[in-house]
Amino acid sequence: MAFHEVRFPAKLSFGAIGGPERRTEIVTMASGFEERNTPWIHSRRRFDAGMGLRSLDDLSAVVAFFEARSGQLHGFRWKDWSDHKSCAPSAAPRFGDQVIAIGDGQTRSYALTKAYRSGANVYLRPIAKPVRNSVRAGIGGNEVFFDINYTVDHVLGRITFNEAPDVGAEVTVGYEFDVPVRFDTDRIAVSISSFQAGQVPDIPVVEVRV
């Protein structure tokens, strides 16, 4: 899949409307009971890039970005302002934010994940696009340091330690991250007069699997 490691202008994604979606298949029995199933392990985010536009200059920037991605052809990074950190939105990422593994004394490379908890249920979301220079890590409750103790693959969302964490040691990380997305349309239509009057174009963006 073609993907450009470039972020949609963050100031233009601020104000966009969007969030996660799930796909649930529901079959209602004659008795009224339901059977529910889903073919998706992970949720997928959708956004409307048009909702962040405030001026004709903003529109021009989005059109340029759209053309450079060839419409739906190439994916790109998107900052979801409502969910772009390993911690609470008001906090700064710390090395102990997320437990991603327990050391076994042999494994050195781990995929980044983020846990969403509610009651006894936990959903682990893969994080494929960490923001460069934002990843912090710890082993067994002690912080370790980038380049000295580990490296990060910012394209695939993996952290690799120079030495395998000890058996039983918690491997923890903190980070900022982007969402891998593409435009969900090959056409941008806007009337300049209506745009100036307060109507913005519909520019759908959808998360992609990478």
Q: What percent of the chain has pLDDT over 90?
A: 83
pLDDT band at residue 197, thresholds of 50, 70 and 90?
A: low
User: 57 or 196: whose pLDDT is higher?
Assistant: 57
pLDDT in tens, 69-85: 999 999 999 999 999 99
Closest CA to 47 of 4, 99, 12: 12
Confidence (pLDDT) at 179: 98
pLDDT in tens, 86-131: 999 999 999 999 999 999 999 999 999 999 999 999 999 999 999 9
Q: Which two tokens stand for residue 142?
A: 């002690």
CA pair distance 46, 128, nearest whole angstrom: 17
Closest CA to 205 of 12, 30, 5, 57: 12
Q: Give the residue-averaged pLDDT of 122-146.
A: 97
Q: Give the residue-averaged pLDDT of 174-183.
A: 98
Can you list the alpha helix ranges (DSSP code H) found in 3-48? 10-13
SS3 state of residue 136: strand
| Statement: the pTM of the whole predicted model exceeds 0.75 | yes
Write the single-letter amino acid at 184: D
pLDDT band at residue 162, thresholds of 50, 70 and 90?
A: very high
Q: What percent of the chain has pLDDT over 70?
A: 97
Q: Give the residue-averaged pLDDT of 164-193.
A: 93
Give the DSSP letter of residue 42.
Answer: S
Confidence (pLDDT) at 64: 94
Confidence (pLDDT) at 146: 96
Q: What is the DSSP string of 74-129?
A: SEEEE--TTS-BSS-TTSPP-TTSEEEEE--SS--EEE-EEEEEETTEEEEEE--E
Query: What's the whole-number average pLDDT of the chain?
Result: 93
Q: Which run of H or of E encompasses 150?
A: strand 150-153
Residue 6: count other Cβ atoms within 10 Å of its Cβ.
13
